[in-house]
Amino acid sequence: MIRIGIYGYGNLGRGVENAIKQNSDMQLVAVFSRRDPAAVKINTPGVAVYRTEDAEKMTDKIDVMIICGGSATDLPEQTPALAKLFNVVDSFDTHAKIPEHFDKVDEAARESKKIAMISVGWDPGMFSLNRLYGGAILPDGKDYTFWGKGVSQGHSDAIRRVEGVADGKQYTVPVESALEAVRSGANPELTTREKHTRECFVVAKDGADRAKIEEEIKNMPNYFADYDTTVNFITQEELNANHGGIPHGGFVIRSGKTGANLENSHIIEYRLKLDSNPEFTASVIVCFARAAARMSSEGMSGCKTVFDVPPAYLSAKSGAELRKELL
Amino acid sequence: MIRIGIYGYGNLGRGVENAIKQNSDMQLVAVFSRRDPAAVKINTPGVAVYRTEDAEKMTDKIDVMIICGGSATDLPEQTPALAKLFNVVDSFDTHAKIPEHFDKVDEAARESKKIAMISVGWDPGMFSLNRLYGGAILPDGKDYTFWGKGVSQGHSDAIRRVEGVADGKQYTVPVESALEAVRSGANPELTTREKHTRECFVVAKDGADRAKIEEEIKNMPNYFADYDTTVNFITQEELNANHGGIPHGGFVIRSGKTGANLENSHIIEYRLKLDSNPEFTASVIVCFARAAARMSSEGMSGCKTVFDVPPAYLSAKSGAELRKELL
């Protein structure tokens, strides 16, 4: 049994809790929260909730700590600190800061001789793996990553900060004609606007100026100005009924050439279509937690990413079973 | 520089030769053939062709030997024999016999302390990897593998053995409605007939009985009887002009559920669309040859499959470059 701790109990933490139940070689042993443990209700009978500061007393009870904090401020502090005590997995997703995060976490994990797996999920994570495999197989080629259709938390937050907006949700939508152009092997150069559109569902406050709200959203720099954006005003009831989920997904496509004169085209396409972004991310994290436990038990240590994990380590099955059933 | 030998120079061997040219850290040093070396013309200036029996004299000149024989009779002999002398990669693709092949090759490679990577390509190979990743992430789910649209060499051969047939080509075609049913998350049970159709292009000999040929193909056990098969009679000129390539591809789809009550569906889809089956297979083999060289230089040995290779080992880029550019 691999004994798991969950550090931070939001959407992702709850997803991890559910995913652990789907893996019979894993067991949730503790949840750590910054909130008052008495106020945190979890879904696993018999498992206690502790304050985050109690984690250090439980190093002998937890094989892998899954850190479910946010990338902006939580993980840059939490992952290096916890890697001094535990094997850890995080889902750090600020792509530009991954090298810096890696170095800090690696130093901590080398010192403690633990495994610290960072940036696990689907992007970074499974999408990164597919960019790596695709580029290694087809060196003469081009990578394309499309996101959606799915809810962007950051863009939904941006909408809700606009004056006169009561609530809102934003979907990132890949442009079908751009996808088709990529799949054709034509290796098109695509602008930001050509790749994705942004679809907003907005609940306006009573008496708010809708034209002004729409204008402000569509021209918001960084978030919307570079995209074709549509704004739909709906009621709070409609928003709750039809836009309550957190779906997401996307595509990683490698388009490359082979042959004596590069005369043959090949398309490798990896697609995700997810009902729940945090639950899928949690499911990826949990199988990499299995790998972290195995790598640690074999004496490895330091910071690792999805690129460093032999795929067989992710599965509960033996090497012989995998070769017989899946190869 | 990783020094590569090619053992067997057919379609796959030529594909490997082309792929080596696309990877600047690799160098072809020798081609081995059962034919008279003087009669074998290769595409790389300055590289010599040797008889297969000369390979054993060149163990100090080759870092990885890529074995390009067939799975039926060549590889079961060649891979264990060559693994005693070299790091090797093969594309053994008789799924049912992989465990047996693994054991024989593993024994040889452990004794010689070499790395022997077997069953590398796309199925087995990249498709297997996607079955493994998908099942590890979504344990409550179902795998679907579809092949095509593409040329099946075995089925084309079967057509050409029918009396009255001068030439022929067979395409395996996935059924679009079955793919859509799988993508819907409905987890359908699909029969052989529901998953693929078979499309045949046949050149009849002068005066042959076409109705009889069609009848015989459609009712051929194992090959066609379990499928909806269409037979199109065309001229040799049409066959040469329109059906000269060796395209292939297919889909691996994992459909799974997550959530406290398994209420959320997720679809992971991996798709290949290949102009040249042997060239793509060769491209996969060549990046796994890089991994074999690295694993060997780190002191590892024994039989390995795609499941055992940390993805970073496939790329010519450093860990830091990969994290910065692709993660």
The per-residue pLDDT for range A171-214, each reduced to its tens digit, is 999 999 999 999 999 999 999 999 999 999 999 999 999 999 99
Contact assessment for residue A305 and residue A131, using Cβ atoms and an 8 Å cutoff? no
pLDDT value at position A181?
Answer: 97
Helix (H) or strand (E) holding A17: helix A11-21
Whole-number percent of chain A with pLDDT over 90: 99
A183 contact residues in B (CB cutoff 8 A)? 273
Contact assessment for residue A79 and residue A88, using Cβ atoms and an 8 Å cutoff? yes
Nearest to A132 by CA among B326, B285, B288: B326
B121 contact residues in A (CB cutoff 8 A)? none
pLDDT value at position B142?
Answer: 97
- Quickly count: other Cβ atoms within 10 Å of residue A239's Cβ: 17
Nearest to B7 by CA among B26, B36, B31, B28: B31
Instruction: Mutation target for A interface from B143, B149, B308, B323: give the one with most A CBs within 10 A.
Output: B323
**Shortest CB distance from B311 goes to which of A99, A270, A307?**
A307
B311 contact residues in A (CB cutoff 8 A)? 129, 132-133, 136, 306-309, 311
Whole-number percent of chain B with pLDDT over 90: 99
Contact assessment for residue A20 and residue A51, using Cβ atoms and an 8 Å cutoff? no
Cross-chain Cβ contact B327/A279 below 8 Å: no
Instruction: Mutation target for A interface from B103, B179, B264, B304: give the one with most A CBs within 10 A.
Output: B264
**Shortest CB distance from B305 goes to which of A22, A136, A327?**
A327
Contacts of B219 (CB under 8 A, 6+ apart): B225
Strand A26-33 and strand A2-7: the pairing is parallel
Cross-chain Cβ contact B129/A311 below 8 Å: yes
Tell me the sheet residues that pair with B210. Answer: none
**Shortest CB distance from A136 goes to which of B307, B315, B320?**
B315
Cross-chain Cβ contact B267/A272 below 8 Å: yes
User: Which strands sit side by side in the sheet containing B228-233, from one edge to the other?
Assistant: B150-151, B165-174, B196-204, B228-233
Average pLDDT by consecutive 10-residue portion of chain B (327 residues)? Answer: 97 98 98 96 96 97 97 96 98 96 98 98 98 98 97 94 97 97 95 96 97 97 95 97 96 98 97 98 98 98 98 98 97
Whole-number percent of chain A with pLDDT over 70: 100
Distance (Å, rounded) from C-alpha B179 to C-alpha B189? 12
What single string gives the DSSP state of each residue in A228-259? EEEEEE--HHHHHHHS-SB-EEEEEEEEEEES
Cross-chain Cβ contact A268/B272 below 8 Å: yes
- Quickly count: other Cβ atoms within 10 Å of residue B45's Cβ: 5
Nearest to B248 by CA among B130, B148, B169, B127: B148
B183 contact residues in A (CB cutoff 8 A)? 273
Distance (Å, rounded) from C-alpha A282 to C-alpha A20? 9
Distance (Å, rounded) from C-alpha B93 to C-alpha B82? 18
ipTM greater than cut 0.90: yes
Residue B49 distance to chain A (closest CA, Å):
19
pLDDT value at position B320?
Answer: 97
Please state the rounded mean pLDDT for residues A212-236.
Answer: 96
Nearest to B86 by CA among B13, B27, B4: B4
- List phi, psi (to 5°) of B319: -55, -45
- Quickly count: other Cβ atoms within 10 Å of residue A48's Cβ: 12
What single string gives the DSSP state of each residue in B153-193? HHHHHHHHTSTTEEEEEEEEEE-HHHHHHHHTT------HH
Cross-chain Cβ contact A322/B311 below 8 Å: no
Cross-chain Cβ contact B314/A136 below 8 Å: yes
- Quickly count: other Cβ atoms within 10 Å of residue B211's Cβ: 8
Q: For A276-307, what is each residue's pLDDT tens digit?
A: 999 999 999 999 999 999 999 999 999 999 99
B41 contact residues in A (CB cutoff 8 A)? none
Contact assessment for residue B251 and residue B270, using Cβ atoms and an 8 Å cutoff? yes
Q: What's the Rg (C-alpha) of chain B? A: 22
Q: Three-state SS for B89? A: strand
pLDDT band for A272, please (50, 70, 90 cuts): very high
